[in-house]
Amino acid sequence: MRIKELIPWRIRYRLDRCLEERLRPTNTGLYKFLKFGRTNINTAKYWDKVWRTDTSDRDYQELFQLICDRIPAGSRVLDVGCGMGILARRLRETRGASVMALDFSAHACRALAAEGFETIVSKLPAIPVPDQSFDVAVCTEVLEHLDHPERTLTQMFRVVRRGGLVMCSAPDDALHPHRELEHQTAFTRQRFEQLMGTMGDNFEVIQGRVEQSDQPNFLLGILRRS
């Protein structure tokens, strides 16, 4: 029997309410540690389960179109944190891109390998490929899940050839960690530009919508490696 089950249900209820109403908004890391035993719930096991059962629409059409419009036809592309491969398929179908899909979910990578994609199972920031192996590296709606997003950005730059592109997106001051427990970082435009700027000045940031909204709710950073 777990220790929690020895506590009377009324006391458990009050403790849970206290965690949700007081601790979660003010100290999300401690809240997650007490509730889940870790401060970052993004594990390979967690995402294997998500991708086996997920039915939500993750086809971010405006975002993915912006990315496709910037990628030269026939490019060699690395999709970092590919998930179930909606963007990877679109790049292959619309741009004739040769796509390698990287994720730490073995389930996602197996599914994409069955469709003929090259895949790598790896936990970020590790990207186990040689320097300057790709024309483009893309990373959509992933950086906010990481404890140290700058380390992944550095690795993406390493594997892109000189003159190539690194493209990253994140929520625009939305889905903050206390509301979306998968998220570790909340990006404002200023904070996102600071992150992009760690790789140099040759970048732009575009605001847009991943779903119907009156306000922009994603940021897309486009960096060219000099």
Q: How would you write the pLDDT of the chain (226 residues) with one tens digit per residue? A: 455 566 666 666 677 788 788 889 999 999 999 889 999 999 999 999 999 988 677 778 899 999 999 999 999 999 999 999 999 999 999 999 999 999 999 999 999 999 999 999 999 999 999 999 999 999 999 999 999 999 999 999 999 999 999 999 999 998 899 999 999 999 999 999 999 999 988 999 999 876 655 555 899 999 999 8
Burial readout 123-142 (b: 16 or more C-beta within 10 A, e: otherwise): ebbebebeeebbbbbbbbbb
Q: Write the burial class of residue 114 (CB in 10 Å: 0-12 exposed, 13-18 middle, 19+ buried).
A: exposed
Tokens of 58: 């993750």
Preceding amide of 125 cis, omega within 30: yes
E strand or H helix that includes residue 107 = helix 106-113
CA distances from 78 to 8, 42, 45 (A): 52, 21, 23
* pLDDT of the residue at 3: 52
List the helix and strand counts (H, then E) for the chain: 9, 7
Phi, psi (degrees; rounded to nearest 5) at 107: -60, -45
Nearest-10 crossing angle of helices 149-159, 189-197: 40
* Beta pairing, strands 98-103 & 160-171: unpaired
Q: Report how far residue 81's alpha carbon sits from residue 142's, in angstroms, rounded to the nearest whole number.
A: 6
Q: Report how far residue 199's alpha carbon sits from residue 197's, in angstroms, rounded to the nearest whole number.
A: 5
* pLDDT of the residue at 110: 97
Place of tokens 């003010």: 26
Q: pTM above 0.85?
A: yes
Sequence-ordered strand ranges (E) for 76-202: 76-80, 98-103, 118-121, 134-140, 160-171
Query: Left (φ > 0), alpha (ψ -120 to 50) or beta: where does 173 sit?
Result: left
Instruction: Note the pLDDT tens digit of each residue in 157-202.
Output: 999 999 999 999 999 998 899 999 999 999 999 999 999 999 988 9
* pLDDT of the residue at 44: 96
